[in-house]
Amino acid sequence: MEPVFIHLLILMVVIWSVAVLLRQVGLPTVMGELVMGVLLGPAVLGWVEPSEIIEVLAQMGIFFLLLHTGVTTKPREFFEAVRLSLGVALVGAFVPFSVSVGVAFAFGLPLMPALFVGLTMTATAVVVTLKILQDLGLQETRMARVIVASCILDDLLTLVLFSVVLGVVREGTVALLPLLWIGLKAVLFFGGVMAIGYWLYPLFRYPFRHRQGKGFTFILILGLGFGLLAEAIGLHLILGAYLAGLFFREEVASPELIQKVEDRLNGIAYSFLGPIFFISLGFHITFDALSGAALWFTLSLAAVCLFGQVLSAGGMARRLSFSWVESLTVGVGMSGRAEMAFILASLGLQLGVLDARVFSVLIFTTFLLNLLTSAGLKGCALLRQREREATAVTVG
């Protein structure tokens, strides 16, 4: 029997087991998948070795994760984020990016690795955060709406910045004119694809009137087509994948077909290829990040990201007349880092911008931020409950 099938069987057993166990205790499965990747990979047990086939499946996992994110992010949510949460999102992205780059410089990283550190620490964890908010019964509050909307906008801004940084990596220069050209290409690409989404998507509505329409195949075609177009102009495939799904909406397809497409993409992205990608990240992790200067790098990065996010996003929420508890909740809620951060870190590793030590620092920092965000949101929920009880007593 081919070793790759044995490895694939091991991975699928792990994916299923992690999902069953962690969902029982309300923890995000991606954390368990990363841990199992470290245990199964060369760092510990060595049961599964990195191979070309697993790498291909992992790259497909990135594609489907971004495609699924696009399909589940409705355009109205994005534009609502721009309208209501622009200040929270912009300041909440700029400060973590800046302080992360600053920490990277302080620990001796050159410009390009430092920029990738900043990008990774700017990408939010909207799916993980929304799950925590749902568990706490806060999903219908205005805090949750601002958090989710701002996270959506921050992730899109991160993708635009990633396009610019990727162009600098490929050009090998930070000269002003090439940098402006890269930024212009990114803006034109986003603008062009959004125009197609609004004006051309509706022309294809006839085949998508009922659940039997070939919406899933159509999304795959658009995702690959937009992705290859992005690659052709010097951007990255993931941008096309994200935007291809963004405009597959109810104005174009029936709600039943949209739900069918979302279910299929969710199954592939979070039960097959996506988990293989997250597990494969563990193959590249070393424990150097838990000793010496790398440990201080990890702790410093987590601390400045958490406090920078809370002070910036929370401060802007306070300016929107949120209470101090609500503002704290907004800041803490935007501090998580998950799928997008892992994808950007892995791309930095593939491009040779990040080495294994810095990559491991980013992964461990992400772990730490998610633990702190989960605990912080639970604490904020208790503070909010006490605030409401105090208000009720005062009114009474």
Residue 41 covered by a domain: no
pTM greater than 0.85 (yes/no): no
Residue 275 covered by a domain: yes
CATH number at residue 333: 1.20.1530.20
Q: How far is the C-alpha of 157 from the C-alpha of 90, rounded, in Å?
A: 9
> Residue 317, CB half-sphere, CA atoms under 13 Å: how many?
29
Nearest to 240 by CA among 205, 192, 281: 192
Q: Is 234 left (phi over 0), alpha (psi -120 to 50) or beta?
A: left
- Check if the beta carbon of residue 125 is closer than 8 Å to that of residue 373: yes
Question: What's the number of domains the chain is made of?
Answer: 1
Digit-by-digit pLDDT tens for the chain (396 residues) are: 567 778 888 888 888 888 888 777 766 677 778 788 888 888 788 888 777 888 888 888 888 887 887 777 666 665 665 566 777 878 888 888 999 999 999 998 988 889 889 988 888 776 667 666 766 667 667 777 777 777 767 777 787 777 777 777 766 665 566 667 766 777 788 778 777 777 776 666 656 665 565 677 888 888 888 888 877 876 667 777 877 777 766 666 667 777 787 888 888 888 888 888 878 877 777 776 677 788 899 899 999 999 988 888 888 888 877 888 888 888 888 888 876 787 788 888 888 888 888 888 888 888 888 778 877 887 887 887 787 777 666 655
Residue 282 covered by a domain: yes
Residue 361 covered by a domain: yes
Residue 10 covered by a domain: no
153-164 per-residue burial string, b: 16 or more CB within 10 A, e: under 16: bbbbbbbbbbbb
Q: Can you give the residue range of the structural domain that contains 304?
A: 52-395
Structure tokens at 214: 């070939």
Residue 33 covered by a domain: no
Residue 233 covered by a domain: yes
Residue 129 covered by a domain: yes
